[in-house]
Structure 1
């Protein structure tokens, strides 16, 4: 079993898509470890604020299979396949870490935005503060402590996930 960490972001009907994204990931991956939900300003374009979080899970799927699963979940939640990189998102799921894998294909791991996007690094530092980034060999907590917190505006929000039906 591989331990994976996933970035979830949305700024189109964000509350609905956070709930749907987490539910879909749970349906496919089982038990999840959830960070708090954060609100942040759009990065790279002028747009409405995003809701973001990081999710931990275990899987027997390969990196390529995980990536394909995320693309399918995104599409099932209204994500446009040919959407511009910096644009509104109904649901954006990115594989951040797959154990300690360092690779370029089928995707780049660890995901580069861990080091430069507060909406990825802060929730990741909450979930695995003492784990080491496989390339820079610093803990996620120390990376967050060193991060220029004035460069991006992000704040935790109260978010209630619906209780599962009995």
Structure 2
């Protein structure tokens, strides 16, 4: 079993799609743990506010298999196959970490978003503040302390 961390985001029918993503993940993996859900303004484009969270899970899938499974979930729930980076999303599923694996090709792990965006790092911190990021050596807490991300987060009272 590999422990992976998956970032989940939605800014289209947010509650419905966050729940759908969590349910879909429960069908393909084991031992899911959910961070709190955070709301924040869309970043990089003008759109509805996002809900973001991170899920820690155990999987027997390879990195490539998990990436393909996440892509299938996104498309199943209405994500455009050719979606650009900065646009509205029904479901956005990103592998943030996959055990201690380091991948310099798609899917890239650790995902660079961990170092850039508090809407990724804060929920990751909520799950495991002392987690050491492979190929970096810092903990999630140390990374979060040094972030200068301008995105303001609001914790949401979200019932799964």
Task: Please say whether Structure 1 and Structure 2 have the same fold, judged by a TM-score greater than 0.5.
Answer: yes
Q: Distance in 1 between matches of 2:105 and 2:60?
A: 18
Q: What's 1:158 paired with?
A: 157
Inter-partner Cα distance in structure 2 for 1:100 and 1:155: 30
Asked if the contact 1:63–1:106 (Cα under 8 Å) also holds between the matched residues in 2, the reply is no
What is the 5 A alignment of 1:27-106? 27-106=27-106
Give the aligned CA root-mean-square deviation in angstroms.
1.0
Q: Which moved more, 1:152-161 or 1:65-74?
A: 152-161
Unaligned 5+ segments in structure 1 are: 162-166
What per-residue deviation string (whole Å, max 9, x for no partner) do you get for residues 38-81 of structure 1?
Answer: 00111111111000000000111000000000000001111110
| Cα distance in 1, alignment partners of residues 67 and 104 from structure 2 | 13
Equivalent-residue separation in structure 2 for 1:82 and 1:104 (angstroms)? 22
CA distance in 1, matches of 2:49, 2:15: 12
* Deviation (angstroms), 1:107: 1.6
- TM-score, with normalisation over the residues of structure 2? 0.97
Q: Corresponding residue for 1:107? A: 107
TM-score by length of 1: 0.93
Give 1:85 deviation, angstroms.
1.4
Q: CA deviation at 1:30?
A: 2.6
Q: Distance in 2 between matches of 1:123 and 1:135?
A: 20
- Please identify, of 49-58 and 23-32, the stretch whose mean Cα deviation from structure 2 is larger: 23-32
Deviation at 1:159, TM superposition (A): 0.5
- Preserved contact between residue 126 and residue 141 of structure 1 (Cα < 8 Å): no
Unaligned runs of 5+ in 2: none
Number of aligned positions between the proteins:
160
SS of residue paired to 2:28: helix
Aligned counterpart, 1:133: 133
